Amino acid sequence: MRLEIRIMQRIASPEMTSIVKKLVQSRFARKFTDTVWGRVFLVVWIGKTVVFYLFLLIRILLLSMVFLIASNVEALSQDNYLGIARFWFENRAEGHTGWMASDNSINKAIEYYGQALADNPYSEEAATGLLKSYYFKIVFTKLSKNELRVLTQDGVDLSEKLEKNFQESGPYHYWSASLWSVWAENHGLIKSCYEGVADRIKTHSEKVVQLDPDYRSSGGYRLLGLVHYYAPRIPLILNWSSKNFSENCLTKAAGQSPEHPGNLIGLAKLYIKMEREYESTLLLEKIIITPPRPNMYLEDMKIIHEAEKMLMELRVKTQ
């Protein structure tokens, strides 16, 4: 297209216009056009010139349209990938048994969120969608012990890779903390503390509270309360964990977002550790009688199942 534009610019330049004007006004031109053949030549020449300009103009317009369409297709492909990824993630519970899902839908969500992120490395939705899809596959699909370790490592590696582009994203920090939490579960609590994983979870959780405290039903407070609950005090290694601070965070999460059973069960666990059986019993009973949320069916069913087990153990203990 640049060539066509240069040709038109050259033809329409003042120098070329002056040359044509001189030729047309010359004595030879006036005498030549007085003859029949001269007039025929002039008509043919004007016709060819008009056709040439029209062809050049049409060519420029077509090339411009192609360029515009190509630009829009790139944007559309990004939206299409995200739309398809959303569809598969929303249908992640299909084919479930109890609170364990088939990996068919979540694998497709991972694939399309990955393609959307490859198209736009700065898309927050693509990045957080990919992280939460990894988390779901780790927690809610059947995996061998080796597959579980590989996938948790892939998840935290992805989190670290994305950190540069999403340092100010609350959702990014939430899912990063969640992935590091399941990494710690699968590699052991003490090892995780010595390798600084508890510190990572704490830092990500604090960022969620700072950047987007309402995300995932007060998720930042929930994660921060849980990491203080689980993290042991290890001299010279880890000395920041506080059960009082844990209670403050979990109480705030449960008070602000009581619809999320994860907030209630976290507080119930802390109360059991503090030997406040009556309060923990009330929380566990509330979780069990509350129907799972339709859009969080498996996530809630897992917590309900855990609450039933905890309540049974608590009743045996207090008999």
* Model pTM score: 0.77
In order, the DSSP letters of 178-201 are HHHHHHHHHH-HHHHHHTTHHHHH
What string of pLDDT tens digits covers the 319 residues of the chain?
555 455 545 555 566 556 555 555 555 555 555 665 555 555 665 666 666 667 666 766 665 564 454 444 344 455 799 999 999 999 999 989 999 999 999 999 999 999 999 999 999 999 999 999 999 999 999 999 999 999 999 999 999 999 999 999 999 999 999 999 999 999 888 888 889 999 999 999 999 999 999 999 999 999 999 999 999 988 888 999 999 999 999 999 999 999 999 999 999 999 999 999 999 999 999 999 999 999 999 999 999 999 999 999 999 988 7
Would 91 be classed as within a structural domain?
A: no
Q: What is the dihedral of CA 298, 141, 204, 276, to 10 degrees?
A: 50
- Structural domain of 268: 258-319
Would 188 be classed as within a structural domain?
A: no
Would 302 be classed as within a structural domain?
A: yes
Cα–Cα distance for residue pair 309/301, rounded to 1 Å? 12
Q: Which residue is associated with the tokens 């994305």?
A: 162
Q: At what angle do helices 261-273 and 297-318 cross, to 10 degrees?
A: 20
Number of domains in the chain: 1
Would 42 be classed as within a structural domain?
A: no
Cα–Cα distance for residue pair 204/254, rounded to 1 Å? 20
Would 190 be classed as within a structural domain?
A: no
Would 269 be classed as within a structural domain?
A: yes
Would 35 be classed as within a structural domain?
A: no
Would 293 be classed as within a structural domain?
A: yes
